[in-house]
Chains A and B, each alone.
Chain A
């Protein structure tokens, strides 16, 4: 039934991401000389509409029955090109990708050697493509509903959107209350709205929503399954409960930087406090130090942010603005006090932010450029040692109250969830989104989405925006009702099978079973996840993992080594 392979090869420039290091024209010329290749092209952006159109046209014109795209990682765009081929009437499993960006152009600088490597990678994938077989696409029903982990503003916003769309939501919150970090804040920036006005109604809605089941003092302790059908174990004070859902939203938030890790900043002194402690003081309207009104209140920016010494090279994005807010509120309460902000750069992006910063200065908040190096005590006051970098003058500034603008870090226990769900983290410790620009709420795990500061520091508007984005992404499988399942499953050749049962022993999913009548193994395709353990273990080589058969792999080896 197999007709002779007719392969089209497409080398992507990815703008200059690939072509800057790899001579793409040369690779395309080389690919044209490979066996079974009918047409070979290079193009600026293969994933663009015209790029995909090119493939579709060629399938028609050249009667292609295989497509090889050499571009980014298949983890990025394989579904894109499979979809394009499918639209042109080709089975999507006849598309194969060569990864010449992440695994070639981005990691090598020698153009000649990178081009040579790209050729090998293309040859290897072309060899595999010739051996490909079409596979049947299968789908299973989705369990309607989502689990949302974390009951802060991100978790609540996401939960409400999913619930409002009519699906059950299980909201799991570790602490005894909803509201997360936001509930610990006094007012928002730049509008100075009381946080209570913002969060009160939100909590109320979550608590009373008929579609939301709330688990307080509870944690997710196990997750099994895949997109469409997750089994999530929730452990709380009332014991364990398993819920079944189609998607999961992670909204576990952040930790604040512990200033004790910068001992030179003197956090042990009672008049050196963190910005969160300042929020509490603003709540209470009490700024007194040693029972007296402070004459000087000084804010220090970037504590635990933009600091490689503590392993946090990133900007925490909110400290400049919350400091402007706190300084401004302090100036309102103590109009005669000296309120100074010591900073290295002021970053006020976002609606109304720069305007707020302007107002704070106009009100009398003093901004002095130069970050503090050291804090020590002098009598009841503390001395801040730093340099006014614009004057080029060191200063020893005595003050009554110091507020350390502590930054955000990933949760200390983030690795638990990361391990449980196999969610990768970026170098900064936060959860890693699938693509920084195009898939900012997706993760490497299909069906699991990110909302809020668990993905990186952000302010309230960005957190809520991301939560709503995560909710709409999490709704896609629920609304669609079905999800594709692994088509590349293992199959048994009954003629070769000796019925030894080795496959039954090695499979963690119980997919293979011995047919008692015929004495041979049969694999249940619904249970099979496509790992290939049985195929490798089979002593008679009677099992093949489709799409990764020995013929396909060894063809790749031949092309690479031969």
Chain B
């Protein structure tokens, strides 16, 4: 059962760094597991809490947010806003008894295709280890 579990991970990537990094992984043909589905946003700073909570409530097994490295934000400070928001959000998830490590925030630049692929691989493995989102079963009952 654990072996056949293929997690579903939703990724919000900023257009300028992480999304471009994901493209570079593609042009460099770096292979990674197909468990992550990407939604393009202009900036990680525009990731609303509902964007993270909705998929988790609906049964996604993880949420990845990818932004530019500190100091590199295309909009100057959007990634700092994302960082503050994710920290707060994780606190809330934790206090609600939910495993906050299903939400990952990572800085990936446009030239870090390798890092993107590596991040996806690591996250897929980490979530596989955790097993399916408990919320999924809750709703299925």
* Residues of A in contact with B (beta carbons under 8 Å apart): 73-75, 99, 101-104, 106-110, 113-114, 116-117, 120-121, 124, 419, 422, 424-427, 432, 444, 488, 506, 508, 529-533, 535-537, 545, 548, 550, 553-554, 556-558, 560-562
Contacts and interface: CB of A to CB of B under 8 A. Distances in A.
Contacts of A75: 15, 19-20, 23
30 contacts: A74-B40, A75-B15, A75-B23, A99-B38, A102-B22, A107-B29, A107-B30, A107-B32, A117-B34, A117-B37, A422-B110, A424-B110, A424-B111, A427-B28, A530-B42, A531-B42, A532-B43, A532-B45, A532-B46, A536-B45, A536-B48, A536-B85, A545-B42, A545-B46, A548-B41, A548-B42, A550-B51, A557-B60, A560-B10, A561-B54
B27 interface: yes
Contacts of B110: 422, 424, 444
B3 to A, nearest CB: 15
B39 A560 contact: yes
The DSSP consensus for interface residues of chain A is helix
A68 to B, nearest CB: 14
Contacts of A101: 26
A74 B29 CA distance: 18
Contacts of A553: 39, 41, 48, 51
A557 B26 contact: no
Contacts of A109: 31
Interface residues of B, number: 50
B123 interface: no
B126 to A, nearest CB: 19
A101 B85 CA distance: 32
Contacts of A117: 34, 37
B137 to A, nearest CB: 15
B42 A532 contact: yes
Nearest to B21: A424
Contacts of B81: 506, 533, 536-537
Given A124-B39, A424-B110, A444-B20, 17 more contacts: A99-B40, A103-B26, A104-B34, A107-B29, A108-B31, A109-B31, A424-B24, A444-B16, A444-B110, A532-B43, A532-B45, A533-B45, A533-B77, A548-B41, A554-B51, A560-B8, A561-B54
